[in-house]
Structure 1
């Protein structure tokens, strides 16, 4: 695709370059992580200086529309997956509502002795084993989240359930346990070797880390969930209403 800039226009050159870049971003040729032409070629094509072009590029990098890799080039950022704290659903239900087909890359069920923090949350003896569910999930193109869930023995999970179904659908329909309240803590961590391998990122890469404490209708704890999300593929949004 050929682009040009009107050097006689009163619109500043860097603004024109920015608008052209926005057009390029939406062109099928450059979607889904494709690299843009290098700065030298693009600046030459547009007949502007590299500093003018870089000013436009920096604006779109700041907005998260482009990703610049030193020594490699600039590419279009892939759309991130969004999760909201309001209207809380299971992960599968939330992704389906956004038209995203969820793929399970790994699914492991084990019985483990809880650590002190988990045992205290559930109010159980640390020696009593609980069900641990691990799931590596994402889109067809690759995984973007790794979940670890622990469940209170009272819930009644056996480990034989079909965990490809929505989790809270299983709890409600199979075990008559309704998840009604979620308390969450969200932060950022650096990926260790284990998480980096799961999410296919470099060790030390930024990871969105979320703890979720889930309660039933009687405010009794039923699940303790840890979620590790690829920062380049996921954004967590919070809606607040002032009353």
Structure 2
């Protein structure tokens, strides 16, 4: 990849260098751990001072895109799963955007009595049973999230449905249910014995718990979902504008 600074541009040199670095680290070899050229080589290639280049590198280090170790070099930070609230997506959509091939490590269906919280959400009695979908999901190497979803008894899902398909695609194409709104709660905790076994971590390791309350286009509650994420593999971002 040819890196070139426009010295006649009104854009500051360090900003141009920053944008070039962002494009550079999107290349697969750098994503896979290849070290960036050292500062002397890069500054000579870009025809800028090392201080100007360092300013650009520092910005990417500060935001977590690069890591730098004295005597070793600078490399791309391996990203965990990132999610946010600007435009909510299904888990499958989030993973697709990140280029992660999802693997189901476990998938279970059962009918469980609704807890008080679930019953209040669906406006049903606590004794009523809901279809519960439990899945342990991750990349091709290891699991990083355990999901349990409860569905309103009004939703005609059953064991004949193909739950290996993306869930919201299944709801829309098979049942004509279009989900629209997700209200979320995020909290932190330690993994207990049950969760640690599911996610292949220690029971004392930290996890993030993400609750989703999902509604359709008519604001009818459809899904009550709880996800237990390995904290070393999940980042939740919030973008706010004033």
Q: Same fold (TM over 0.5)?
A: yes
- CA distance in structure 2 between the partners assigned to 1:189 and 1:160 by the alignment: 35
Unaligned runs of 5+ in 2: 1-27, 35-60, 68-75
- CA distance in structure 1 between the partners assigned to 2:134 and 2:86 by the alignment: 25
RMSD: 2.9
Q: Sort the Cα spacing of 1:231 and 1:165 in 2 relative to 1 into closer, same or farther, 3 A.
A: same
Q: Deviations over 1:167-188 (max 9, x none)?
A: 1111111111111000000011
User: Under a length normalisation based on structure 1, what TM-score does the superposition of the two structures give?
Assistant: 0.68
Structure 1 position 64, deviation (Å): 9.2
Question: Aligned residue for 2:179?
Answer: 179
Question: Aligned residue for 2:133?
Answer: 133
Question: Aligned residue for 2:89?
Answer: 89
Structure 1 position 31, deviation (Å): 3.9
Contact 1:78 1:233 in 2 (8 A): no
Contact 2:131 2:157 in 1 (8 A): yes
Deviant stretches of 4+, over 6 Å: none
- CA distance in structure 2 between the partners assigned to 1:114 and 1:93 by the alignment: 28
Query: How many residues align structurally?
Result: 185
Contact 2:182 2:215 in 1 (8 A): yes
5 Å-filtered alignment, 1:93-112, equals 93-112=93-112
- CA distance in structure 2 between the partners assigned to 1:200 and 1:64 by the alignment: 27
5 Å-filtered alignment, 1:115-126, equals 115-126=115-126
User: Under a length normalisation based on structure 2, what TM-score does the superposition of the two structures give?
Assistant: 0.69
Answer yes or no: is 1:160 the counterpart of 2:175: no
Q: Secondary structure at the match of 2:196?
A: helix
- CA distance in structure 2 between the partners assigned to 1:152 and 1:62 by the alignment: 41
- CA distance in structure 2 between the partners assigned to 1:159 and 1:179 by the alignment: 21
Structure 1 position 61, deviation (Å): 11
Structure 1 position 78, deviation (Å): 4.1
Q: Secondary structure at the match of 2:168?
A: helix
5 Å-filtered alignment, 1:1-243, equals 31=33, 78-242=78-242
Unaligned runs of 5+ in 1: 1-25, 33-59, 67-75
Q: Secondary structure at the match of 2:154?
A: helix
Q: Sort the Cα spacing of 1:63 and 1:168 in 2 relative to 1 into closer, same or farther, 3 A.
A: closer
- CA distance in structure 1 between the partners assigned to 2:142 and 2:241 by the alignment: 35
- CA distance in structure 2 between the partners assigned to 1:27 and 1:167 by the alignment: 33
Q: Deviations over 1:20-71 (max 9, x none)?
A: xxxxxx998x949xxxxxxxxxxxxxxxxxxxxxxxxxxx8996977xxxxx
